[in-house]
Chain A
Amino acid sequence: MLDVLSTFPVAPHHLLTGHVTRPPVSSELDAAMDRYARGDDAAFAEVYDGLAPRLLAFLVRYTRDRARAEDVVQQTMLQIHRARGRFEPGAQVVPWAFAIARRLVIDFHRRGSREVLSPTGDDDQGQLLAALDARADDVAIAKEVAERLVQELAKLPENQRTAFELIKQDGLSVAEAAQVLGTTVAAVKLRAHRAYEALREVLADIDPKSPRPGAGERGQA
């Protein structure tokens, strides 16, 4: 599956938010959060810019509802704002923010029934891939992989799926994912590995190197 996934030109969370740049380095965010905790109010915008797109992507995937995801991003950022005084020097803000977001969204789901799943923006993904001037067959393969990946991920046990997504899609380290999930590094590695193996098995029939009709043509924007 690694080969199949490597054909996917942009990480799925970037597709959903429209951001194709790499997320800011965690240490820069930690430094900004540290300045905010010490009272530099202007640093909150920096913290927001570093966290919000990643949180939004995570939450859109979790809720399948952009409006709700935005609501939870707002609540998460305000929780961070209210608790800034508790931010310890040398602590990491990314796993903290993801853990708060995950808790809030779980509570949202507990309070009300799960919302009807809304489309995940497949058309936008296609447009973005096309805009990136990807080859038409690459776009088709990537879309197929992405669709299958979403379907197969949904079938995995929640703990395996979350571990896999936090590491592979949200860009957290194994240690950060372990903190978010309240478990050990070894347990997260095992869960992610099981998810990876399960996905590799079910996606084995997709061969990224197989020729497709229209191969060699450039995608039209």
Chain B
Amino acid sequence: MTTERTSADDLRARVLAAAKNEPSPTRDDHRRRVVLVVAITVVAVALSFFAMGGFRAGSRPIEMIAFTSSFAMVAALAVGKVASPPRGSMLARPRAQLVTASVVAAPLLALVALAAAAAWPGPSSEIVSERVHLACGAMTFVQGVLPLLALFLTRRGTDPVAPAMTGAALGMTAGGWTAMMAYMRCPHAAATHCIVAHVGPTILLTGVGAVLGWLVLRPSAR
């Protein structure tokens, strides 16, 4: 017992000394950092949006653009909320919620694309080449990487419970935002194009998010 007490005292002294020697950001420092990262990301995403052509309606009516992009925004907000810890907790929501949000969002977005094609058959009947699918899909993915990196940068080492699943949900959150921008940027309305080039990258971002989540969100011993 005495040995254990001594060892406990040693441990206490060791931990307090190590903490003293390694300054850590306070809440105000952290908030300032988050604001900076968010501001840089918003500017970078806006610049990339305009660099990729900015807003282009093409043959699509404005209602169709509003319908598809607002659903993508709602998906991003909803999954983003699930990916954040509930109020009064430092820990992620239950795994079941994270998995559901990550898995359900992309098929819902695909359904929205099909619904839009059914509601506005005229602009949706155009033929889009595979090269356009690929180019637009690549742009959608690249635009999603920026918010994804920002989300991981501000939440590094914060999820000890389900880092991969939280990462997947964050990936889908970034996917929702980039799908929204794709619907505003891309003039093509064909359902196949929307599913392949606007929704497809969200699935890819979800996968990337899961891997990054496991690597980045997990607290690890140094």
Contacts and interface: CB of A to CB of B under 8 A. Distances in A.
A163 B28 CA distance: 36
A70 B5 CA distance: 12
B35 interface: no
A73 B19 CA distance: 13
A121 to B, nearest CB: 8
B8 interface: yes
A195 interface: no
A83 interface: yes
B88 A90 contact: yes
A92 B90 contact: yes
Interface in B88-111: 88-92, 94-96
A41 B25 CA distance: 11
Contacts of B129: none
B160 A103 contact: yes
B171 to A, nearest CB: 18
A72 B222 CA distance: 11
Interface stretch (B10-18, B142-150, B196-204): B10-18
Contact of B19 (A70, A78, A99, A100): A78
State which size class the interface on A falls in.
35 or more
Contacts of B28: 38-39, 85
Given A90-B87, A107-B221, A128 B16 contact: no
A181 B161 contact: yes
A107 B221 CA distance: 9
Contact of A104 (B14, B31, B219): B219
A96 B24 contact: no
Contact of B1 (A18, A73, A86, A90): A18
B16 A37 contact: no
Contact of A95 (B18, B30, B89, B220): B89
B111 to A, nearest CB: 27
Contacts of B27: 37-39, 84-87
Interface in B184-222: 218-222
B8 to A, nearest CB: 7
Given A85-B24, A90-B87, 16 more contacts: A49-B12, A52-B12, A74-B14, A79-B157, A81-B22, A84-B27, A85-B28, A88-B85, A90-B88, A91-B90, A92-B88, A100-B219, A102-B160, A103-B218, A180-B161, A183-B96
B12 to A, nearest CB: 6
A72 B162 CA distance: 19
A70 B7 contact: yes
Nearest to A103: B160
Given A92-B88, A99-B91, A100-B160, A85 B15 contact: no
B1 A179 contact: no
B63 interface: no
A108 interface: yes
A56 B92 CA distance: 24
A144 interface: no
Interface string A102-116: 111001100000000
A124 B4 CA distance: 10
A209 B117 CA distance: 75
Contacts of B161: 99, 103, 179-182
Nearest to B87: A90
From B1, B5, B7, B19, name the one whose CB has the most chain A CB atoms within 10 angstroms. Answer: B19
B19 A77 contact: yes
A169 interface: no
A178 B94 contact: yes
